[in-house]
């Protein structure tokens, strides 16, 4: 039989992750701490804006790059947050940050280009690096000057210039927010290499101690800022994300817009009107709830393991005594669903716990997690005592 699939398509695969989800789908009444989306509903004003767009027949194509009113509102939002005023013409709205990432890689990355990730990384980054035949370099997310120096030495020795530095702060899966010194080190690195920085701020609304600093406030001339409404306003299923570029990178965003004409065409129009309202709609109560849950989970987990308190997002990322694949399989036997760390890192001994879920499930889930860690650490099963 003829081989139909294009060679490039073999570079991506989800069979390992799917195996976990297939196992999970068979569990009745699971303790699901694997979910990557908020459990709160879309805020009422945003719902109303979306509903109004439908009633008002705002249901046709929008401009390829997004509604002008939304692009203006994004520029205002980012100016207030970062102190840097992007130009609306240098912004693009697409069907979620995932779509933005794909358009960015298609426009920017070709075979053998060097891309720097922070480990642990959002799982789409390495997948896109592989898919585009690029070379992946990583430094740990708690890097300092020493790790940058080591990386620089390796790159210099191989004669490689970085083309793209991409990270999420707050991080998925760890919740870590990069500090000013770390941002300055990355900015300096980008300058030396004449590289693009892609700052993925999709979790920036979940910043429990007001620590988040945007790269665009430190190094605006080299920084693409990526964000969206899936996490902050629970619009995961409505598909709106965006990217803003400084003038130096105008041609990148222009090419992304051109490519969008041949792919997603535009982001859904009613959701774009919802996004305009979302930019004016704070989520104070939702944040308080999330922070309370974070503190609860951290307290519980510290009884069996050491871990840093995550600064933001809605995940904790504890170490487990065995390979994460094995740990997750054992957790599933006890109805507990987690995401194995090996999809986020070269280090396989962590798992991601999401606390974007009901407190009673969190409490029971944490108890199962702690029991399993203790059992695997001591080799004694609580169930058999």
CA 66 remoteness from chain centre? 22
What's the closest the beta carbon of residue 94 comes to its own copies, in angstroms? Answer: 9
Q: Which residue's CB is nearer to its own copies, number 50 or number 139?
A: 50
What's the closest the beta carbon of residue 281 comes to its own copies, in angstroms? Answer: 15
Q: What are phi and psi of 363, to 5 degrees?
A: -65, -50
What's the closest the beta carbon of residue 232 comes to its own copies, in angstroms? Answer: 13
Q: Which residue's CB is nearer to its own copies, number 123 or number 322?
A: 123
DSSP 383: G
- On whether the CB atoms of residues 294 and 309 are closer than 8 A, the answer is yes
Give CA–CA dist 266/320, Å, rounded: 43
Q: Which residue's CB is nearer to its own copies, number 236 or number 309?
A: 236
Query: Nearest-CA neighbor of 192 among 217, 232, 224, 155?
Result: 155
Q: What is the CA radius of gyration of the chain?
A: 21
Q: Which residue's CB is nearer to its own copies, number 248 or number 335?
A: 248
Q: Which residue's CB is nearer to its own copies, number 181 or number 265?
A: 265
Residues that bind its own copies (CB under 8 A): 2, 4-9, 12-14, 37, 41-42, 47, 50-51, 54-55, 57-62, 95-96, 98-99, 101-102, 106-110, 113, 124, 127-128, 131-132, 163, 194, 196, 234-239, 249, 251-252, 255, 258-259, 261-271
What's the closest the beta carbon of residue 2 comes to its own copies, in angstroms? Answer: 5
What's the closest the beta carbon of residue 47 comes to its own copies, in angstroms? Answer: 6
Please compute, for residue 64, the number of CA atoms within 13 A of its CA located in the half-sphere on the CB side. 16
What's the closest the beta carbon of residue 208 comes to its own copies, in angstroms? Answer: 23
Which residues, in sequence order, are bridge partners of residue 226? 200, 243
C-alpha dihedral sign at 311, 315, 321, 323? negative
Q: Which residue's CB is nearer to its own copies, number 51 or number 380?
A: 51
| Residue the block writes with tokens 């989306």 | 37
* Helical (H) or strand (E) element with 152: helix 145-158
Distance spanning both ends of the chain, measured CA to CA: 57
């Amino acid at each position: 039989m003829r081989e139909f699939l294009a060679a490039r398509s073999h570079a991506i695969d989800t069979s390992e992750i799917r195996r976990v989800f297939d196992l999970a789908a068979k569990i009745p009444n699971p303790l699901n701490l694997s979910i990557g989306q908020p459990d709160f509903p879309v805020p009422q004003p945003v719902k109303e804006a979306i509903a109004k767009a439908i009633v008002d027949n705002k249901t046709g194509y929008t401009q390829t790059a997004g509604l002008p009113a939304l692009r203006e509102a994004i520029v205002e939002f980012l100016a207030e947050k970062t102190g840097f005023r992007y130009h609306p013409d240098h912004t693009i709205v697409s069907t979620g940050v995932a779509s933005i990432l794909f358009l960015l890689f298609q426009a920017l990355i070709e075979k053998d280009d060097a891309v720097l990730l922070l480990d642990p990384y959002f799982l789409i980054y390495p997948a896109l690096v592989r898919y585009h035949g690029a070379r992946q370099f990583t430094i740990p997310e708690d890097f300092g000057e020493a790790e940058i120096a080591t990386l620089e030495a390796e790159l210099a020795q191989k004669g490689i210039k970085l083309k793209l530095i991409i990270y999420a702060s707050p991080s998925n899966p760890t919740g870590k927010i990069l500090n000013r010194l770390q941002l300055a080190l990355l900015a300096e690195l980008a300058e030396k290499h004449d590289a693009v920085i892609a700052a993925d701020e999709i979790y920036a609304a979940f910043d429990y101690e007001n620590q988040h600093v945007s790269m665009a406030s430190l190094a605006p001339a080299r920084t693409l800022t990526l964000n969206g409404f899936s996490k902050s306003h629970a619009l995961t299923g409505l598909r709106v994300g965006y990217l803003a570029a400084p003038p130096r990178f105008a041609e990148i965003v222009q090419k992304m817009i051109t490519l969008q004409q041949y792919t997603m065409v535009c982001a859904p129009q009613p959701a774009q009107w919802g996004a305009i309202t979302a930019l004016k709609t704070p989520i104070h109560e939702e944040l308080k709830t999330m922070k309370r849950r974070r503190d609860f989970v951290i307290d519980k987990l510290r009884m069996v393991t050491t871990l840093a308190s995550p600064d933001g997002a809605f995940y904790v990322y504890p170490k487990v005594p065995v390979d994460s694949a094995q740990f997750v399989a054992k957790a599933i036997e006890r109805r507990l669903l987690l995401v194995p760390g090996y999809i986020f890192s070269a280090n396989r001994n962590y798992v991601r716990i999401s606390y974007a879920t009901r407190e009673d499930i969190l409490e029971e889930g944490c108890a199962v997690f702690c029991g399993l860690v203790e059992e695997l650490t001591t080799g004694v099963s609580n169930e058999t005592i």
